[in-house]
Amino acid sequence: MDINSEQLKKLIDLSGIDVAVEHAVPDDITKALIAIERKMLAFGSEAMSVPAEFNILIVDDLELSIYQFNQLLKKVGIVPTVARNKVEALAELKKKKFDFIVVDLFLPDAEDGIELIEECINLREAKKTNKIIVMSGTDDKNLIEKCYKLGIDEFVPKSSNWHDQILKFITSSMTTKEHEDFFKYSINDNICCYTINKFNGKRHVENLLKDVNTSLFTGYANIIFNMENVKIFDDEYTGVFTELYKMCKAKGGQFMLVKISDSVKSALSDAFLDTLIPIFSTVDAAVSKICD
How confident is the model over 103-124, as pLDDT tens digits?
999 888 888 899 999 999 888 8
pLDDT of residue 49: 41
Q: Give me the domains of the chain, ranges plus CATH numbers.
A: 5-44 (no CATH), 56-173 (3.40.50.2300), 182-291 (3.30.750.24)
Tell me how far the alpha carbon of residue 36 is from its chain's centroid: 17
19: left (phi over 0), alpha (psi -120 to 50) or beta: beta
pLDDT of residue 61: 87
Exposure b/e, 249-274, CB count within 10 A at least 16 = b: ebbebbbbbbbbeeebeebbeeeebb
Give average pLDDT by consecutive 10-residue segment, the chain, 292 residues. Answer: 68 72 74 59 40 77 84 78 92 88 89 91 77 88 85 84 80 58 84 86 81 89 92 81 93 95 88 90 91 82
pLDDT of residue 145: 82
Beta strands in the chain (DSSP E): 56-59, 81-83, 98-104, 129-136, 154-157, 182-188, 191-196, 222-226, 255-258, 279-280
pLDDT of residue 25: 76
pLDDT of residue 42: 43
pLDDT of residue 177: 46
Q: Average pLDDT of the chain?
A: 81
pLDDT of residue 280: 95
Sheet with 98-104, side-by-side order of all strands: 81-83, 56-59, 98-104, 129-136, 154-157
pLDDT of residue 57: 92
pLDDT of residue 89: 92
Rg (C-alpha) for the chain, rounded Å, is 21
State the Cα–Cα distance between residues 207 and 183, nearest whole angstrom.
12
The strand pairing partners of 194, in sequence order, are 184, 225
Global pTM reads: 0.48
pLDDT of residue 2: 56
pLDDT of residue 45: 37
- Residue 139, classed as helix, strand or coil, is coil
State the Cα–Cα distance between residues 233 and 225, nearest whole angstrom.
14
Counting every residue written for the chain, the total comes to: 292
pLDDT of residue 180: 60
Cis bond upstream, residue 26 (ω within 30): no
pLDDT of residue 259: 93
Question: Residues 279, 227: contact at Cβ < 8 Å?
Answer: no
